[in-house]
Amino acid sequence: MEWYRAAPEMHYAVRQKPFQRCFQNCLPMSHEFELIDWIRGRVTPHPRVDVGIGDDAAVMAAPFKPVQTLVTVDMLMEGVDFLLPDASGRRIGHKALAVNLSDIAAMAGRPVAAFVSVALPRRGGMQLAQEIQQGIQTLAAQFDVALPGGDTNTWDGPLVISIMVHGEPTGRGPVLRSGAKVGDWIMATGAFGGSIHGRHLDFVPRLNEAETLNKCVALNAMLDVSDGLVADLRHILEESHVGAVLDLDAVPISPDVSKGTDKRSPLEHALSDGEDFELLFTVSPAEGARLLASPPFSTRLTHLGEITAGGELLFRNVTGELQPAPVMGWKHGFQ
């Protein structure tokens, strides 16, 4: 929110109403700069941040050798990604950072810094912002992520929070969606379905698992499951120009699916619910078998099926019958 500070008279003449509203709501008592000062006092110094909160842009220390940078951004909107007051500010802050860290994990990267932009409701926004910040900082500390800047706005609308994360590659480099090879095993961490009952707000991004996998085996393709297992598997297939057979009886179903009351089966939930934030990846059969024989971490690992030639996704049931997979999963739509 720069315009009222730079030349308020001009803006007053041109945009009388917005100026009056902003002047009344931004300056007295409780305003963005108080909040920024509060955040600034709590953010811990980080070796990669030369200049953090307080200037026009952060100055980050470059890594020692020229390496690639991973950059991702994700926005959460009240009413779509969480409901207030069902979710506390802390959990919303946690989720807002966690979804971005999950995207860095999906590339087998290591997060370095997160930049937080918020549109806060004027009513109650200050306290909400402080709770959100606590959720962000706790998770940032867990994964050594710097918080060198952001943007704070207030308005009469709902809460919107967008975080951009910078990261760096690990091990064998970034893992893309486009590298799946015919014959690869399809594998996943964790279990699927029912995240709506709370896990979508509290999950821990699979950063450690992704980095370990990238060290132990040659990951041919990987992503984090945010739109649903089937929908996201299709993303790998499309980017890699391959097909797949998914073994339905192998799909690990989260116990969370039983918390719902609708008529869809546990398997349907596991295949189509969004926001599991598990890793879905493909490796050669030899590497896959090695992972299952001696798992490098305690998080569950499952072999879900195989990559095939052609573009089709087929479901294989317990008797070995194949059928085309239906369209499933979450999309942001337009009207």
Residues that bind Mg ion (CB under 5 A): 56
Shortest distance, position 126 Cβ to ligand ADP, whole Å: 12
| Among positions 53, 250, 267, 314, the unique one binding ligand ADP when judged by CB under 6 A | 53
- Greatest Cα-to-Cα distance within the chain, rounded to the nearest angstrom: 76
Contact of 103 with 74, CB cutoff 8 Å = yes
Size of the site for ligand ADP (CB under 6 A): 14
| Among positions 89, 111, 125, 149, the unique one binding ligand ADP when judged by CB under 6 A | 149
Contact of 203 with 192, CB cutoff 8 Å = no
Tokens encoding 305 = 């099926």
CA distances from 34 to 93, 126, 130, 152, 258 (A): 19, 9, 11, 11, 45
The binder of 145, among ligand ADP, Mg ion, none, by C-beta within 5 to 8 A per type, is: none
| Among positions 4, 19, 22, 39, the unique one binding ligand ADP when judged by CB under 6 A | 39
Question: How far apart (Å, rounded) are the C-alpha atoms in residues 108 and 307?
Answer: 21
Nearer to ligand ADP, 132 or 175 (CB): 132
Pairing of strands 146-155, 185-189: unpaired
Q: Which residues contact 171 (CB under 8 A, 6 or more apart)?
A: 108, 211, 214, 215
| Among positions 34, 144, 151, 202, the unique one binding ligand ADP when judged by CB under 6 A | 151
Residue numbers 111-130 binding ligand ADP by CB under 6 A: 116, 118
Shortest distance, position 130 Cβ to ligand ADP, whole Å: 11
Told to check if 266 binds ligand ADP by CB under 6 A, we report: no
Told to check if 217 binds ligand ADP by CB under 6 A, we report: no
Question: How far apart (Å, rounded) are the C-alpha atoms in residues 193 and 218?
Answer: 28
Give contact residues for ligand ADP (rule: CB under 6 A).
Answer: 2, 36, 39, 53-56, 116, 118, 147, 149-152
